[in-house]
Amino acid sequence: MTGGEQNALKSRRQKRRAGQRGGAVKSFLLFMTGLALLAAAAIGVGAWLGYRAATEPGPAAEDTIVLLPPGSAVSTIARQLEDEGVIKHPEVFIAAVRIRGVQGEIKAGEYEVAARSSVMEIIDQLREGKSILHYFTAPEGLTTAQIVRLLIADEVLEGEVTVEAGEGELLPETFAFTRGETRDALLRRMMKDQDALLDAIWDDRAIELPFSTREEAIILASIVEKETGVPEERARIASVFVNRLKRGMRLESDPTIIYGLTEGEPLGRGLRVSELRKETPYNTYIIRGLPPTPIANPGEASIRAVLNPEETEDLFFVADGTGGHVFAKTLREHNANVAKWRTIERQRNGAQ
């Protein structure tokens, strides 16, 4: 074989081996592509199955209350939701939370999970923190001790009462709160709300009022609060007391006498003549000016009434037999009104 023939044979062999190597590479690439497509298909199927599991209706047949303690891990929450019967698979909940990247947005609280809620819907609810709201009502005109007793009796609030609130320092109203709020926290809210109200309305008070401090305003407002339960009367009742204070007259308010006797607890009967004459710091039939402290916690309407009372010349009022009062400018008019009230009382007592 000549040298030329040998070179040609060698070249053919090299091309054949290169072709074989190329075919192997192509086969390998086709094989790997197939594996990738299978993996992608598997991932796609898995993602689709996961999405379907996270969005399908949940197992709960009715609305369910779920209480999630503060500091609970996502895995703990998932197991609790499963125990409460609102999800089937805790791993689906955990995966959905992680895929969405909302691990730090799940809020503790008391939730009412609607029947058939999906995992995604539950996650959205826990992210929004739409906890169940409870309500506590402190009626106007109660003493601080009476409001504290209501707080203690509330079964949803937590903790002992350690905040020391003075008489008249609370703003009575209805407060919304979530489970876990303490009684002390609610007391602080009442105190803060009264301060905020006074900050908002103090500078708009009428001029030449017979008191100069917020504390005095609350004292007078507490008396107005105890004298009438008729909203439209408050500003007129306030005008009577303001007019009497300006003239140096005693307030002669029965609720102040009762507070001096019982610290605001119900007397359970009418006042006796001896009690009208009993000397206490709160007996406004004896002392001049305001008593030393409020006699209750006045509501916003009574506070506004004493800061902007009606402009009247009234100096007296007495019950009219319908739940309200009749007003008078002179003692003579007042005595006639009192006589009418006594007649009504006798008629009622005779009918019993």
pLDDT in tens, 176-230: 999 989 999 999 999 999 999 999 999 999 999 999 999 999 999 999 999 998 9
Q: How confident is the model at residue 36 (pLDDT cuts 50, 70, 90)?
A: very low
Quote the pTM value: 0.78
The verdict on domain 64-128 having CATH code 3.30.1490.480 is yes
Provide CATH 3.30.1490.480 ranges for the chain. 64-128
The pLDDT value recorded for residue 43 is 44
Taking only the tens place, the pLDDT of each residue in 221-239 is 999 999 998 999 999 999 9
The mean pLDDT value for 19-35 works out to 49
Q: Where are the beta strands (DSSP E) in 201-286?
A: none
Alpha-carbon span 63 to 328, nearest angstrom: 59
DSSP 8-state assignment for residue 67? E
State the CB neighbour count (10 A cutoff) for residue 262. Answer: 12
Q: Does residue 49 surpass a pLDDT of 60?
A: no
Please report the pLDDT score of residue 55 as a whole number: 84
Residues 295 and 145: their CA atoms lie apart, in Å, by: 11
> Rounded distance, CA 34 to CA 38, Å?
6
| 76, 126 Cβ separation under 8 angstroms | no
Written as one string, the DSSP assignment of 69-127 is -TT--HHHHHHHHHHTTS-S-HHHHHHHHHHHT-GGG---EEEEEPTT--HHHHHHHHH
**pLDDT tens digits, residue range 237-295?**
999 999 999 999 999 999 999 999 999 999 988 889 999 999 999 999 999 999 999 99
Q: Which amino acid is at 339?
A: A
Closest CA to 88 of 116, 59, 61: 59
